[in-house]
């Protein structure tokens, strides 16, 4: 069956649907954190599971609308394969918490207009959200596994920190296949985040050096200009005195 292109404007859809997605991500964060760390009773567990699946449906709708309204569906599908993987694989669903990052647009309004400042803000926040999501995901699949070393939230957070920063002490490590899959995603994400931080710092350093050089050249140019103006002023004064001195003999001869 051939899918017909929707008449929804992708830009308008993202603008109007962004707030519900952020709210859904926050609800997912709360519900999933309680599920993993508190082991609630049957009634509370069903309620939290309903929230989790409701948010999943919300993101599924967003994925389908974005796909159907894309100018080139094939290209959009290839470029957003990670979103499909996150939707389909239960152990990677905590990565939907990355939807929380658009909340930082509020901070951007007071954080200055420098693009680099926005990039650093997004990168640091992405690392925080990615680390916490990875910690929840690995704790969910590891805490009841035989021989597991990651059995509490502090253990999972410490493991996520050492993994996302590529330190890897080895004191905590996943023993299940799903946990190792989460670890692989966290490692790849950590490398990307650290690369972005390094690039932002290098850009800042190059710009500062360039600014200092430009200021030095401007100062030297101003000095040369001032010297030239001083020289011209002295020449004008000299010519003025010569003209004034040369005009007196003519007055004497006329008398």
Say whether pLDDT at 255 is over 60.
no
- The pTM assigned to this predicted structure is 0.60
Say whether pLDDT at 249 is over 60.
no
In angstroms, rounded to a whole number, what is the distance separating the alpha carbons of residues 161 and 91? 18
In angstroms, rounded to a whole number, what is the distance separating the alpha carbons of residues 153 and 168? 17
Say whether pLDDT at 92 is over 70.
no
pLDDT of residue 8: 67
Q: Cβ–Cβ contacts within 10 Å for residue 183, how many?
A: 19
In angstroms, rounded to a whole number, what is the distance separating the alpha carbons of residues 129 and 164? 11
> Quick one: tokens of 52?
């989790």
Say whether pLDDT at 227 is over 60.
yes
In contact, 101 and 129? CB cutoff 8 Å: yes
The mean-pLDDT minimum among 67-71, 108-112, 153-157, 163-167 falls in 108-112
pLDDT of residue 159: 92
For 144-171, write each residue's pLDDT tens digit: 889 889 998 999 999 998 888 778 788 8
């Amino acid at each position: 069956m051939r899918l017909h292109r929707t008449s929804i404007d992708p830009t308008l859809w993202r603008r109007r649907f962004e707030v519900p997605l952020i709210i859904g991500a926050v609800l997912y964060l709360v519900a999933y954190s309680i599920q993993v760390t508190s082991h609630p009773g049957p009634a509370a567990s069903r309620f939290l599971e309903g929230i989790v699946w409701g948010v999943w449906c919300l993101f599924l709708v967003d994925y389908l609308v974005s796909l159907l309204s894309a100018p080139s569906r094939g290209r959009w599908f290839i470029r957003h394969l990670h979103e499909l993987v996150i939707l389909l694989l239960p152990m990677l669903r905590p990565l939907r918490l990355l939807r929380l990052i658009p909340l930082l647009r509020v901070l951007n309004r007071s954080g200055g207009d420098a693009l680099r400042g926005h990039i650093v803000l997004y990168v640091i926040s992405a690392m925080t959200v990615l680390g916490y999501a990875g910690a929840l995901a690995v704790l969910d699949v590891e805490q009841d596994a035989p021989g597991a070393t990651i059995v509490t939230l502090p253990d999972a957070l410490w493991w996520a920190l050492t993994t996302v920063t590529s330190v890897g002490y080895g004191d905590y490590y996943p023993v299940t296949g799903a946990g190792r899959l989460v670890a692989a995603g966290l490692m790849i994400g950590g490398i990307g985040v650290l690369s972005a931080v390094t690039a932002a710092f290098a850009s800042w350093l190059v710009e500062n050096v360039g600014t200092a050089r430009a200021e030095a050249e401007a100062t030297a140019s101003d000095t040369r200009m001032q010297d030239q103006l001083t020289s011209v002023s002295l020449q004008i004064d000299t010519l003025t005195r010569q003209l004034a001195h040369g005009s007196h003999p003519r007055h004497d001869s006329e008398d």
